[in-house]
């Protein structure tokens, strides 16, 4: 797809009006074009590659836009008159108006960008990593067990955990997610996910369960303590699966050889032992032997809170453990958390209805 864009309206004005809460009435469309074939007629000869997928769409030749406009440099698609939506997906153009989705700007990008810097070490502290893990676990636990309908993400990975201005974690990209009826524990689906994060049991059986997300989250925890990608190359240019390498190192009692140097200085041995044990539970080959995301969140909450209390020179009374957890500001039972998680549900439903 060509990088040249033409705008049908002043999109900057539209966005500014939306941010001010004004209803602009504008419909903004970005005029990109496909350069695989010079004209609609040529593109239509190869239906497999033809981009206008909606049956209610029309194809238009695109000219270069300067003095000599006697030839076409590509084509673009638009919904037919009376239809609205995305002409580039099947059933993307509907008679009802499709709402404009405006997403929050995420200034600090994805977690993966901070963990896997090229020729550089991550600057994320152990405190930040523990907090990000706890927040992400809370979001997934909400989707699994507290949302109005259970939702399995199906593509949990560090590049789908976004960080805002304050480095608060936000789980994103629900294009592969599935809603699960209340009377079911799993779905049989086509295999979808990212290698390195993909649950081996799901890969073998095609049965998607909540424990598939748990496995993927365990790999994220591994990334957080090792700074390595889920599939990475060694000095000998040999590709290694991080989860399998972790289990090998665990068997040979060499697990701390994998932990990032900076964390060996910041985290205590007890904290690392706890995380390693949690990772081992999450990436067990049998899903029934893995914890739920709610249990993962709880363990991370306890670990993080214990660290905070120790740093402040305070102690946690065992009798108040459960109470403190329920009253924790980062618990997804808060009013603010409920609002944010309801937004995740809405994003999922919109993603599935209108396509990615």
Residue 2, pLDDT score: 39
Identify whether 99 is part of a domain: no
User: In this structure, are 39 and 116 located in the same domain?
Assistant: no
Contacts of 330-338 with CB under 8 Å at 24 or more apart are: 330/131, 330/134, 330/135, 330/138, 330/301, 331/138, 331/301, 332/138, 332/139, 332/141, 332/142, 332/146, 337/138, 337/142
- Rounded to the nearest 10 degrees, how much is the dihedral formed by the CA atoms of 139, 140, 142, 145? -170
User: In this structure, are 39 and 137 located in the same domain?
Assistant: no
Identify whether 101 is part of a domain: no
Is the pLDDT at 191 greater than 70? The verdict is yes
pLDDT category of residue 63 using cuts at 50, 70 and 90: confident
User: In this structure, are 284 and 224 located in the same domain?
Assistant: yes
Identify whether 134 is part of a domain: yes
Structural domain including 296 reads 111-354
**355's tokens:** 């396509």
Identify whether 313 is part of a domain: yes
Identify whether 295 is part of a domain: yes
83: CB partners within 8 A, 6+ apart? 54, 56, 57, 93, 94, 95
What are 98-139's pLDDT values in tens digits? 666 677 888 899 999 999 887 777 889 999 999 999 999 999
Identify whether 145 is part of a domain: yes
Quick one: DSSP state of residue 213? H
User: In this structure, are 115 and 89 located in the same domain?
Assistant: no
User: In this structure, are 339 and 223 located in the same domain?
Assistant: yes
User: In this structure, are 84 and 169 located in the same domain?
Assistant: no
User: In this structure, are 49 and 139 located in the same domain?
Assistant: no
**In CATH, what number is assigned to the domain containing residue 326?**
1.10.510.10
Identify whether 100 is part of a domain: no
What are 84-102's pLDDT values in tens digits? 888 888 888 888 766 666 7
User: In this structure, are 269 and 172 located in the same domain?
Assistant: yes
Decide which of 235 and 67 is more confident.
235
Write down the mean pLDDT value for the chain.
79
User: In this structure, are 226 and 336 located in the same domain?
Assistant: yes
User: In this structure, are 249 and 300 located in the same domain?
Assistant: yes
- Rounded to the nearest 10 degrees, how much is the dihedral formed by the CA atoms of 74, 77, 80, 82? -130
Is the pLDDT at 150 greater than 60? The verdict is yes
User: In this structure, are 177 and 37 located in the same domain?
Assistant: no
Identify whether 4 is part of a domain: no
Residue 24, pLDDT score: 47
Catalytic residue among 17, 58, 128, 155: 155
CB-hemisphere CA count at 13 Å for 268?
Answer: 10
* Total structural domains within the chain: 2
Is residue 199 among the annotated active site residues? no
What are 308-328's pLDDT values in tens digits? 988 876 554 544 555 455 445
User: In this structure, are 225 and 83 located in the same domain?
Assistant: no
């Amino acid at each position: 797809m060509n990088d040249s864009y033409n705008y049908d309206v002043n999109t900057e004005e539209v966005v500014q009006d939306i941010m001010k809460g004004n209803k602009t009435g504008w419909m903004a469309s970005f005029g990109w074009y496909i350069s695989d074939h010079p004209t609609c007629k040529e593109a239509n000869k190869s239906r497999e590659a033809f981009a206008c997928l909606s049956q209610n769409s029309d194809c238009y030749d695109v000219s270069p836009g300067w003095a000599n406009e006697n030839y076409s440099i590509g084509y673009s698609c638009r919904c037919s008159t009376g239809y609205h939506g995305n002409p580039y997906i099947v059933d993307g153009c509907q008679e009802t108006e499709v709402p404009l989705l405006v997403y929050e700007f995420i200034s600090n990008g994805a977690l993966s960008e901070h963990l896997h810097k090229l020729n550089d070490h991550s600057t994320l502290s152990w405190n930040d990593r523990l907090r990000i893990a706890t927040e992400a676990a809370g979001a997934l636990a909400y989707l699994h067990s507290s949302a109005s309908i259970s939702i399995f993400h199906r593509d949990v990975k560090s590049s789908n955990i976004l960080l805002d201005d304050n480095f608060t974690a936000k789980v994103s990209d629900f294009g592969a997610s599935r809603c699960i009826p209340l009377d079911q524990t799993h779905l049989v689906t086509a295999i979808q996910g990212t290698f390195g994060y993909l649950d081996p049991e799901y890969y073998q059986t095609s049965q998607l369960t909540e424990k598939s997300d748990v496995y993927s989250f365990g790999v994220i925890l591994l990334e957080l303590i090792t700074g390595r990608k889920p599939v990475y190359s060694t000095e000998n240019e040999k590709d290694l699966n991080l989860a399998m390498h972790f289990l090998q190192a665990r068997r040979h009692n060499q697990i701390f050889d994998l932990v990032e140097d900076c964390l060996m200085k910041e985290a205590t041995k007890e904290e690392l032992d706890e995380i390693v044990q949690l990772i081992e539970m999450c990436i067990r080959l049998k899903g029934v032997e893995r914890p739920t995301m709610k249990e993962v969140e709880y363990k991370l909450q306890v670990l993080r809170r214990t660290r905070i209390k120790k740093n402040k020179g305070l102690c946690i009374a065992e009798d108040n453990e459960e109470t403190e957890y329920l009253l924790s500001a980062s618990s997804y039972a808060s009013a603010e958390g409920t609002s944010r998680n309801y937004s995740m549900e809405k994003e999922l439903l919109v993603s599935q209805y209108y396509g990615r």
